[in-house]
A and B are shown apart, each in its own frame.
Chain A
Amino acid sequence: MANSSIAQPTSRKGLFARGRGAGRQLEWWQQLLLQAFCLTVAVSVLFPIMWIVTLSFKEAGSARPLKLEVIPPSLSSITLSSYQAVIEQPLSKSAGDISFWKLMGNSFFLAAGVSFFSVMIGVAAAYAFSRLNFVGRKLIFLSIGFILLMPGIATLAPLFAMLAKISTSLEVLRIIYFTMAGLLIAGLALMTISRIRSDDFRAGSAAFLVGGLAVAALFLWGGTQIEIPKNARPFELGRSLYGVGLAMISGALPFAIWNLKGYLDTIPKELEEAAIIDGASPNQIFFRIILPLATPALAVTAFLGFMAGWTEFALTARFINKADNYTLAIALQTMTGQYATVSWSNFAAMSIMISLPVSIVYLALQKYIVGGLTLGGVKG
């Protein structure tokens, strides 16, 4: 197909010479063959997607369709009642009583928590691995790489056994909460003081101060709102979304470190060298140069962590035993199957509602994601 056009005069206009800036025109039969090929691939890609979209537009509670439909038969047959039904009652009565928004909230909490903590902790470690030389660097980094190869399920048994051991009464939990909030506020206060004392106190620092105070106030207010009912069951870490989140971070953090380190390595060193000559410390380089430049990588890594948490199934299914803590993935699983008890149109609506938010963000970040995956991916 790579027929040369070099030997031919450039003035020769092909039959289909319309491509913008195309240096070369294809013969009509070449174009036809290529189009046929690309179209076949496109149809095979679209087939399952169109099938599920069509299915989701059917009447709520529709069972297995007896006819193959990949586009809705008519405009009037399109109904959103399946979506409505799923939002009203995502789980069947026997599986548990939980609203769709609660499911979504749980999934979001898990996904956002995992991605936030793994990126926050990960970027500092990635900076150390990328830019600083220290004793044990290679050993630690290699062990992280090895962890990365492991599927999350390979450490499920010990994580479950460990986390399920931890259970505490809610009073203790409240004390822990206030201690954590206190530490956070103290940290914020320290940072604010150091900002004020430094000679470049600017609008950004003021915003930082106000933001910090607001967060502190929110935490304290939230703490006073905690009410502990009498005879409340003790909090079991291994049975809560916090436990699932911790178990997920055990895999997400090494991934974040590895991925971010791969990206930080591509940031040219000249900038830092200039900063060092100007007398910048490693801290200043990290906060003033590396972090701003790494924003796209941070966003991508956070998003990949978010996506993993959003559709996390295996750990959640093992840890969670109360319908209150179910996530979207668990709900989707209860809707799969061949039996007449599950509605295929509801399943289709559910799968689309799970996919849509993350898929849109994925499309937007696509360029950075693919670059990052091959860059920070497995490097032997």
Chain B
Amino acid sequence: MASAESSVERASDSAIPRPSWWARTRTSRTAYTYLFPALIVMSIITFYPILYQFWMSLTDFGPSSINPLAKNYTPPKYVGFENYQLILQDKLATKNADLASFKFWRTLGFNIWWTFSNVIFHVSLGIVIAVMLNVEGLWFKKIYRAIYILPMVLPQLVIATIWRNMFDGQYGAINLMLKIFLGPAFPSGGIDWLQRIEPVAFGLPLSYFAMLIANIWLGWPFMTIVATGALQSIPKELYEAASIDGATGWNKFWTITLPLLRPAMVPATILGIIQTFNLFHVIYFISGGGPLGQTEILVTQAYKLINNNSLFGIGAAFSVFIFIILGCISAITARISRVAESYDG
């Protein structure tokens, strides 16, 4: 705003006077008018809670610390990073005996494995089914498309509760079906899908596999739809040219279909990774994290700390861990997607 500066400006370019600060910030002002309601709302109920959460995580915030007007009000006490320590050292049982089976690294490891195993199935099944459905001359295509969309259309919460009942230890639909197929080989007591404590394979309990089945059922249609959209935009001439060059169907799949699906599948996969990583409903309603917390993921654990145990301070610290971990994951996926986008095919 210095007058010397503006006079220099004017001297150098006398035809167009430098616009005033008020005029120059005009678009910014218009923009912030549009942003104003959203910014106000978000700063109060989105951004402020995140800061508040960080402060909470440094205190022993409990249910009696909420309302200053209540009779039994005890102000939250600053405890430094004790909550973080308790979580990392798996010592939450000192706060609440329910949490004896809590193990942070196991939960994190399981969460990552859960995400990975699910998304692999979603993407591969999604692509295979999309390719099959896209074969020219297939009958009843429209009927199949209409059926295949169903898992996406139904609310996740409802699907999770239905699958929970399907995996019932005695008369769940899955057990009844296995009984028909296996006949006498089926164990007479039924398979206790959700409560069996001993791990069955890879050190994972049966409830993991039950949830894997349920979530594969839930997740592949989205990938199929994305892949179908991409498949239909692949020009047919490419396949014809490949046929003339003598390529087999398999060759064409690997050299034409897959590379051209990639630009569409990468963002969908990233979306799938983040959604599966935070998949609350399936875990909470099917296994409830059980048996003995073996299938707990970060979100369900955080929810239990806050909801069941009312350990707000520790829950906040746990959520800060979730923030950090998701930040890392998004950084990794952003890098992957940048690499994938630079592909020019």
Contacts and interface: CB of A to CB of B under 8 A. Distances in A.
A70 B179 CA distance: 15
Chain B at the A interface: mostly helix, strand, loop or mixed? helix
A272 to B, nearest CB: 14
A134 interface: yes
Contact of B49 (A122, A155, A283, A307): A155
B162 A52 contact: yes
A157 B306 contact: yes
Nearest to A127: B34
A286 interface: yes
A157 B315 contact: yes
Nearest to B177: A68
A368 interface: no
A355 B323 contact: no
Interface stretch (B15-23, B115-123, B197-205, B237-245): B237-245
A133 interface: yes
A147 B45 CA distance: 12
Contact of A46 (B135, B147, B280): B147
B312 A363 contact: no
B315 A64 contact: no
A137 B34 CA distance: 12
Interface residues of B, number: 110
A98 interface: no
A41 B67 contact: no
A314 B303 contact: yes
**Among B162, B244, B278, B322: residue with most chain A CB under 10 A:** B162
A247 interface: yes
A-side interface mostly: helix
Interface residues of A, number: 112
A361 to B, nearest CB: 9
A235 B95 CA distance: 32
Interface in A140-171: 140, 143-144, 146-147, 149-151, 153-162, 164-165, 167
Contacts of A329: 157
Nearest to A338: B168
A337 to B, nearest CB: 8
A12 to B, nearest CB: 13
B270 interface: yes
A288 interface: no
A31 interface: yes
Interface stretch (B4-12, B86-94, B100-108, B326-334): B326-334
Given A146-B327, A247-B45, A351-B161, A151 B299 contact: yes
Contacts of A76: none
B153 A359 contact: yes
Interface in B1-53: 25, 27-28, 30-32, 34-35, 37-39, 41-42, 45-50, 52-53
A157 B312 contact: yes
Contacts of A34: 132, 135, 138
A158 B50 contact: yes
Interface stretch (A15-23, A84-92, A180-188): A15-23
Interface of B: 25, 27-28, 30-32, 34-35, 37-39, 41-42, 45-50, 52-53, 56, 61, 65-69, 129, 132-133, 135-140, 143-144, 147-159, 161-166, 168-171, 173, 176-177, 179-180, 217, 221-222, 225-226, 229, 239-240, 243-244, 249, 252-253, 264, 267-268, 270-271, 274, 278, 280-281, 284-285, 299, 302-303, 306-307, 312, 315-316, 319, 322-323, 326-327, 329-330, 333-334, 337-338
10 contacts: A2-B249, A46-B150, A48-B217, A140-B39, A159-B45, A160-B312, A282-B27, A282-B30, A378-B271, A378-B330
Given A26-B136, A332-B157, A351-B161, 15 more contacts: A16-B137, A38-B140, A42-B144, A51-B166, A125-B37, A128-B32, A143-B47, A156-B302, A161-B312, A167-B67, A247-B45, A313-B284, A314-B307, A370-B225, A373-B222
Interface of A: 1-4, 6-7, 14, 16, 18-19, 22-26, 30-31, 34-35, 37-38, 41-42, 44-49, 51-52, 64-68, 70, 117, 121-122, 124-125, 127-128, 132-135, 137, 140, 143-144, 146-147, 149-151, 153-162, 164-165, 167, 238, 246-247, 249-251, 253-254, 257, 282-283, 286, 307, 310-311, 313-314, 317-318, 329, 332-333, 336, 338, 344, 347, 351, 354-355, 358-359, 362-363, 366, 370-371, 373-374, 377-380
